[in-house]
Amino acid sequence: MELEPIKIVRIFDKFAIYLSKDIYQILPLTFMLGFFVTFVVSRWLAILNGIGWIDNSAMAFAALIHGDDEKTKLLRRTLIRYMVLNQALVLRDISMQVRKRFPTLETLIAAGLLTSTECKLIESINDHYSRYWVPLQWCQQHLCKARADAKIVNDNLLGRTLQEVHTFQQGLATLLKFDWVPVPLIYPQLIFMSVRIYFILCLISRQFLKDSSFDIWIPITTMIQFVVYMGWMKVAEMLLNPLGDDDDDLECNYVIDKNLITGLTLVERGSSSPPEMEKDVFWD
Amino acid sequence: MELEPIKIVRIFDKFAIYLSKDIYQILPLTFMLGFFVTFVVSRWLAILNGIGWIDNSAMAFAALIHGDDEKTKLLRRTLIRYMVLNQALVLRDISMQVRKRFPTLETLIAAGLLTSTECKLIESINDHYSRYWVPLQWCQQHLCKARADAKIVNDNLLGRTLQEVHTFQQGLATLLKFDWVPVPLIYPQLIFMSVRIYFILCLISRQFLKDSSFDIWIPITTMIQFVVYMGWMKVAEMLLNPLGDDDDDLECNYVIDKNLITGLTLVERGSSSPPEMEKDVFWD
Amino acid sequence: MELEPIKIVRIFDKFAIYLSKDIYQILPLTFMLGFFVTFVVSRWLAILNGIGWIDNSAMAFAALIHGDDEKTKLLRRTLIRYMVLNQALVLRDISMQVRKRFPTLETLIAAGLLTSTECKLIESINDHYSRYWVPLQWCQQHLCKARADAKIVNDNLLGRTLQEVHTFQQGLATLLKFDWVPVPLIYPQLIFMSVRIYFILCLISRQFLKDSSFDIWIPITTMIQFVVYMGWMKVAEMLLNPLGDDDDDLECNYVIDKNLITGLTLVERGSSSPPEMEKDVFWD
Amino acid sequence: MELEPIKIVRIFDKFAIYLSKDIYQILPLTFMLGFFVTFVVSRWLAILNGIGWIDNSAMAFAALIHGDDEKTKLLRRTLIRYMVLNQALVLRDISMQVRKRFPTLETLIAAGLLTSTECKLIESINDHYSRYWVPLQWCQQHLCKARADAKIVNDNLLGRTLQEVHTFQQGLATLLKFDWVPVPLIYPQLIFMSVRIYFILCLISRQFLKDSSFDIWIPITTMIQFVVYMGWMKVAEMLLNPLGDDDDDLECNYVIDKNLITGLTLVERGSSSPPEMEKDVFWD
Amino acid sequence: MELEPIKIVRIFDKFAIYLSKDIYQILPLTFMLGFFVTFVVSRWLAILNGIGWIDNSAMAFAALIHGDDEKTKLLRRTLIRYMVLNQALVLRDISMQVRKRFPTLETLIAAGLLTSTECKLIESINDHYSRYWVPLQWCQQHLCKARADAKIVNDNLLGRTLQEVHTFQQGLATLLKFDWVPVPLIYPQLIFMSVRIYFILCLISRQFLKDSSFDIWIPITTMIQFVVYMGWMKVAEMLLNPLGDDDDDLECNYVIDKNLITGLTLVERGSSSPPEMEKDVFWD
């Protein structure tokens, strides 16, 4: 027996009613998205803090490494360069933007972050993971030497500068850790799949049925809901991978450039004395 | 065929019923606002803590930099001035209130926070971002010199004072970071848009329809709901931008003034000895 | 035309039905209270931790300031007294309980926390805010002097004792900060207003209507709900202002007394040696 | 007029229907329990961390206090004993389990944690609260003496060992603080009362009424709900008082024993040198 | 009287309807899973951070332990080996993966992490728990000796290296603590049991009943719900036991191998000087 068109329509209607029943409870998108966004927000903050800001280190180098000869000046500049180089080395394995800018170590030489001698030294290391930290190791060695040369005047201050380098490295190590164990992969997949299934169900169930007394052709409420949930999901996706290639993602290349400029500018002033003290206007 | 008025009314009624159906599930404002406010609250706390309080630094300068000659007194006052100056430099790029008060560097001179010599030094720096930290760098240099002059009696105490300056700077750096990467912009936009769409829908769907047996002309429940959700959204907006120009926002100018007064008052006492110890009343 | 009583009743009935419709969605008290309590709980914990416990400082003074002459003993006791004094100075501007106990500085003298010489010194300071930290500043000065007098045997230990004083001050500074910027005022107001509006609506809408087939005169479920939500709101209120005057609030006066007794008792033992070591029973 | 049985049944039926209406909104157990458990979980973690683990201190004593004579060995063992003694003193006022094991100070002597000389010293202190910290104060005094005797080779290492003792004490002080200000008492009471009221309401409202077309005598769904909510409440209760006497609570006595054994074992090895270094198999 | 088949069907129908009533409120899986996952996520992060990453320690050893003779080289390598050995000792009692790889101490010798002399020393310790920390104790002893031999140039730097070892141990101690007091066992049991009960109820209640006008044989919505909730539960299970044997769990063996390779590579470079400084391209 053939199905008459009218019968198919009726079956479709029943199917749509069946699907629309309790849909809010069956796929509790609200809570899934709410809890998930709360989770990724804290992760996003950790990444934002870990990406590395050179201000503190630069100020410490400028204030605590004394000497206005050319060699000391070179030392301070080299420390900054090594830290930015380290950041670039780590970020090019994590962020698509930085990868595109520095596809090979040679491009780092071209950008002035690396010399060819240093490049060879880095390439001579076999363990890929160890390579990341080589420039920071050089920093530490230079700082210890600066203490031995009495450019850093006491052990306590040496400790402070080493601590700044350490903090910088901790942040980048956090990024590497998040890159290695992103989030239990199944968690975001589950969330994003649920949102998609939800709207597939809506495609069928939210149609104006033959029997319904009202039909405006355009399912306004479902469209609003689509915008809201898709927007929320987009927030979650963006917070989950802030080092991607999108417009909304963190601009890692900008951070690298800013670090280099700010770092060099700050240490450049290290040898110059602060301005002569004058009595302030509130002095009585 | 022309639509008769009565027919239009009926279509409107159906449209209103259609929109009001499941509105609470379609736009789950409750959860969106709840999760979002939880998120911005922690951000707001970070900003409140980062805005910079000078008490600790001032007490450290007063207690740990010894000397009652005029030069040491000047040193302690200058350190305070530099810290407040640094705060003003950062806040005027973040807070509208401070911007209005200090539109140019010259206004900082007029306020006694900056001398014209220092102003020239700051203006000679090209990198805009580096300018922020110049006064704190002078602080560090002065502190290192004070140690060399034995005004600070040991390396450990020098470390403590540098740490106070460092903590102050960390807070301001957090503000700059939040200013640069506010919140994924799409997140608050999504929330605030949802609240607005919700009440546009209500405008239509909550009307007393022609068929409804009861009509009090004034939609009391919708009005209550409007007050509550708009209030909640206002909380979120306020917490999101606590450095704005509203009455409820943090009074940054007050913080700057208070820091200057309290800082100068605390260091002023640095040269005076503590009162003679007397046996307390519980001594036996 | 006059309204007949029966008609008024009928209108009231319809009004009640109108109000009771969707009341749970219109005022989502559950979530508002849940999120709000979560927020104030963390604030309450910060206040509890910041209120100041002297144990650590007292133990540090006792163990690290050597000397069994009367002057050293006086020093240790005075340090404790200054810290408790500082706590009292701060808390009397925050907590109603402490304010009642110490309405003026003279009452602090009567309580043995302050001498009249010290009182004059504090009163000679104009900046109200700076007054808070004067006793702690004296602590720091005494500690630095104790190091100079070799009562504290090395710089590292001086750093530890200063750190304890610092931690104590940080806690009290947190309380002052929370007092200055309580919570965005609109947030608790919104929550508490919502709870009150809710029960005003219930007063009308939860009446047993004329048409209802069942009437037990006493609205049991609404009463239960009232107890639960009012209890929850009370929790929020209590956590929001833990320094108030209620029975449930933190007993600040008890903390001050306890700090004084425990502090003095602990430092009193500073000059006495630990007991002779004996082989423990597990020695083989 | 007498009530006929049938009428009573009918009134009961109506009463049951009245109570069952909106019961999920009137008592939103789900959210109350959810938010409350979230709150107590963080408190429980703080207690778990604060309960005191001696490993770090023991390793620090073993590695940093040099000397293989009997007196140094005794010193290391005594330090461990004092720390465990301190833990026992605090825990017996907080945990029922430990109280039962050590009802008096004499039982601590019998357990080998205390000598009778030390017991008298502790009993000579009047302030109950100060007693807790006396053994740790002895630790600090012994450590300072060990530095004076050059058993600890430099000030920095003395600072490290004092820090370990400090951390241990901080944890126990947290427990005492939680014991003094448990949680705003009204909060758990509110939650637990709500769960109980809920099931009293269910007793009446979930009965199979006379008119219902279906009766299985056993209210399966209510039973399931009872198991789930009571289980959840049990989780909250357990997390709220982890130092109680139940099977699920933290085994404080086990922690004390473990600390003593592990501590003594670790310091016992302090005088023995590490094994001779050998080239590892990856050496090339 | 025998039950006719048709009657049984009808009773079943009624039973199914009874069970399906209010099922979303009776078992509020959404919230239970949401709150529970939030809880285990923070636990999972603590485990991920605690599992131990050797980078910082290796860099500290390389930069701060000076000397390019073979003995110093051996010292640095041995320190790394001891730390990885310690990690392996702890993880084999926690992680099934590591247990399978290192069922006995002998297998650690075969893997080159342990020498037979060291193995005997470890086996000579009776307290099982103390064994864990023996290799780290050797590290500390070697570091103190390196300071005495002036391979570490000042006390401050010795403090830094000891701190790195300390941090490494803290992480592993956290894992042991979580292993000893997993989570109040009743909490995950309650959650997982609820999910299972829920779907048993669904098996009965979600059948297409005899009277229902629509029957598609396949319960699509229940199947979708099953996938979503089971997925969510799976996320919770995975986050609860990240050290298990599944594909999704943390690869502990990989961490051990990586730590050994990276550690040895990094310290290997310790004796070699950093490259000669060259003027960077931005020098003017």
- State how far residue E127 is from chain D, nearest Cα, in angstroms: 7
- Across the interface, whether the CB atoms of C231 and D22 are under 8 A apart is answered no
Quick: pLDDT tens for A117-143: 999 998 888 888 888 898 999 999 999
- Across the interface, whether the CB atoms of A181 and E275 are under 8 A apart is answered no
Q: Is the pLDDT of residue E230 over 80?
A: yes
Q: In this structure, which amino acid lies at residue D272?
A: S
| Three-class SS state of A75 | helix
Q: Is the pLDDT of residue A226 over 80?
A: yes
Residue to substitute from A7, A25, A126, A193, interface E, most E β-carbons within 10 A: A25
Q: What percent of chain E has pLDDT over 90?
A: 30
The residue among B185, E183, A45 whose CA lies nearest residue D40 is E183
> Sign of the CA dihedral D141, D146, D150, D153?
negative
Other CB atoms closer than 10 Å to residue D40's CB: what's the count?
22
Q: Which of D112, D136, D170 sits opposite C281 (nearest CB)?
A: D112
pLDDT of residue C147: 92
- Across the interface, whether the CB atoms of B140 and A59 are under 8 A apart is answered yes
- Across the interface, whether the CB atoms of D186 and C234 are under 8 A apart is answered yes
- State how far residue C68 is from chain B, nearest Cα, in angstroms: 15
- State how far residue D24 is from chain C, nearest Cα, in angstroms: 10
Which residues of chain B are within 8 Å of residue C118 when distances are taken between CB atoms?
A: 275
Task: Give one DSSP letter per residue of A12-28, joined into a string.
Answer: HHHHHHHHHTTHHHHS-
The rounded distance, in Å, linking the Cα atoms of B237 and B37 is 9
- Across the interface, whether the CB atoms of B30 and C28 are under 8 A apart is answered yes
Q: Is the pLDDT of residue C8 over 80?
A: no
Q: Which of B81, B158, B184 sits opposite A238 (nearest CB)?
A: B184
Which residues of chain D are within 8 Å of residue E162 when distances are taken between CB atoms?
A: 157, 160
Quick: pLDDT tens for C120-162: 998 888 888 888 898 999 999 999 999 999 999 888 899 999 9
Q: What percent of chain D has pLDDT over 90?
A: 30
Q: Which partners does chain D have (≥3 C-beta pairs < 8 Å)?
A: C, E
pLDDT of residue C50: 86
Which residues of chain E are within 8 Å of residue D53 when distances are taken between CB atoms?
A: 173, 177
- Across the interface, whether the CB atoms of C266 and D166 are under 8 A apart is answered no
Q: Which residue of B has its CA nearest to C160?
A: B156
Q: Is the pLDDT of residue B245 over 70?
A: yes
Q: What percent of chain D has pLDDT over 70?
A: 93
Q: What percent of chain A has pLDDT over 90?
A: 30
Quick: pLDDT tens for A165-206: 999 999 999 888 888 876 666 788 888 888 888 888 888 777
| Nearest-5° Cα angle at C114, C111 to C119 | 130
Instruction: Report chain D's terminal Cα–Cα distance, integer Å.
Output: 107
Q: Which two tokens stand for residue B202?
A: 């209500």
- Across the interface, whether the CB atoms of B34 and C34 are under 8 A apart is answered yes
Quick: pLDDT tens for D159-194: 999 999 999 999 999 888 888 876 666 788 888 888
| Beta carbons within 8 Å of A89's beta carbon, 6+ residues apart | A108, A122, A131, A132, A135
> Sign of the CA dihedral A29, A35, A36, A37?
positive
- State how far residue E127 is from chain A, nearest Cα, in angstroms: 34
The residue among D112, D99, D91 whose CA lies nearest residue D178 is D91
pLDDT of residue E248: 72
Which residues of chain B are within 8 Å of residue C188 when distances are taken between CB atoms?
A: none
Other CB atoms closer than 10 Å to residue A254's CB: what's the count?
11
pLDDT of residue A107: 93
Q: What is the mean pLDDT of residues B220-228?
A: 83
- State how far residue A13 is from chain E, nearest Cα, in angstroms: 10
pLDDT of residue A2: 59
Task: Give one DSSP letter per residue of chain D, joined into a string.
Answer: -PPPHHHHHHHHHHHHHHHHTTHHHHS-HHHHHHHHHHHHHHHHHHHHHHT---HHHHHHHHHHS---SHHHHHHHHHHHHHHHHHHHHHHTTT-HHHHHH-SSHHHHHHTTS--HHHHHHHHT---HHHHTTHHHHHHHHHHHHHHHTTSS-SHHHHHHHHHHHHHHHHHHHHHHHHHHS-S-THHHHHHHHHHHHHHHHHHHHTS--TT-S---SS-HHHHHHHHHHHHHHHHHHHHH-TTSSSTTS--HHHHHHHHHHHHHHHHHTTSSPPPPP---TT--
pLDDT of residue D283: 82
Number of CB pairs, chain A paired with chain B, less than 8 A apart: 153
Q: What is the CA radius of gyration of chain B?
A: 29
Q: Which partners does chain C have (≥3 C-beta pairs < 8 Å)?
A: B, D
The rounded distance, in Å, linking the Cα atoms of D30 and E29 is 10
pLDDT of residue D235: 84
Q: Is the pLDDT of residue D212 over 70?
A: no
- Across the interface, whether the CB atoms of B258 and C129 are under 8 A apart is answered yes
Please give the C-alpha separations between residue B190 and each of A199, A227, A235, C119, in angstroms, as whole numbers. 19, 9, 9, 57
Which residues of chain B are within 8 Å of residue C74 when distances are taken between CB atoms?
A: 277, 279
SS (H, E, C) chain E: CCCCHHHHHHHHHHHHHHHHCCHHHHCCHHHHHHHHHHHHHHHHHHHHHHCCCCHHHHHHHHHHCCCCCHHHHHHHHHHHHHHHHHHHHHHCCCCHHHHHHCCCHHHHHHCCCCCHHHHHHHHCCCCHHHHCCHHHHHHHHHHHHHHHCCCCCCHHHHHHHHHHHHHHHHHHHHHHHHHHCCCCCHHHHHHHHHHHHHHHHHHHHCCCCCCCCCCCCCCHHHHHHHHHHHHHHHHHHHHHCCCCCCCCCCCHHHHHHHHHHHHHHHHHCCCCCCCCCCCCCCCC
Please give the C-alpha separations between residue B240 and each of B179, C186, C190, E118, in angstroms, as whole numbers. 11, 14, 17, 58
Contact D139, D75 (CB under 8 A): no
Q: Which of D153, D157, D214 sits opposite E18 (nearest CB)?
A: D214
Task: Give one DSSP letter per residue of B248-266, joined into a string.
Answer: TS--HHHHHHHHHHHHHHH
Q: Which of E30, E56, E154 sits opposite A31 (nearest CB)?
A: E30
More confident residue, B166 or D242: B166
Quick: pLDDT tens for B254-276: 999 999 999 999 888 766 788 88
Quick: pLDDT tens for D18-50: 777 777 777 788 888 888 888 888 888 888 888
More confident residue, A1 or E7: E7
The DSSP secondary-structure symbol of C3 reads P
pTM exceeds cut of 0.80 = yes
- Across the interface, whether the CB atoms of C37 and D32 are under 8 A apart is answered no
- Across the interface, whether the CB atoms of C62 and D137 are under 8 A apart is answered yes
- State how far residue E177 is from chain A, nearest Cα, in angstroms: 22
- State how far residue C191 is from chain B, nearest Cα, in angstroms: 9
Which residues of chain D are within 8 Å of residue C262 when distances are taken between CB atoms?
A: 127, 129-130
- Across the interface, whether the CB atoms of C264 and B282 are under 8 A apart is answered yes
Q: Is the pLDDT of residue C79 over 90?
A: yes
pLDDT of residue C74: 92
Q: Is the pLDDT of residue C230 over 80?
A: yes
Quick: pLDDT tens for B102-155: 999 999 999 999 999 999 988 888 888 888 898 999 999 999 999 999 999 888
pLDDT of residue B162: 92
